Amino acid sequence: MLYKIFFVFFGAGLGGISRFILSEYLIITFSTKLPSSKFIAIYPYPTLIINVIGSTVIGFVSHLLLTKFPNYNTELEHFVIIGFLGCFTTFSSFALEAVNLLHNDYLYYFSLYILLSVIICLVGCFFGILLARYIII
């Protein structure tokens, strides 16, 4: 049991650091290219982009592990899926950012954020599964 915690711990550390670096990069990139955009100033696009990437990767990796490598080592699952991707993506940030949009009376952005997050993340996960199924290996 302790070795499983070890794999989750290190995967989560790398996932959290990756999330932070990518989020900061997206904020800097978008705010310098579109400095006067109200959308960029208000909309929590880094979380949406990161969650879509994570949803796509988790679909790909989980399908790959389950179908192409049925005898895979569970430590890989603990490290990548539970640790890295579990910390890289986050539902709690999504929820907080959605509530903040609503609290600040941005009903349009609130609705758009919820719809896009759910739909695009599900499509991303499905795309990851298709990618693993038909293109890779």
Annotated binding-site ranges for Na(+): 86, 89
Tokens 């609705």 appear where? Answer: 111
Annotated binding site: 86, 89
Dist. CA 43–CA 51, nearest whole Å = 14
**Number of Cβ atoms within 10 Å of the Cβ of 44:** 18
**Amino acid letter at 124?**
G
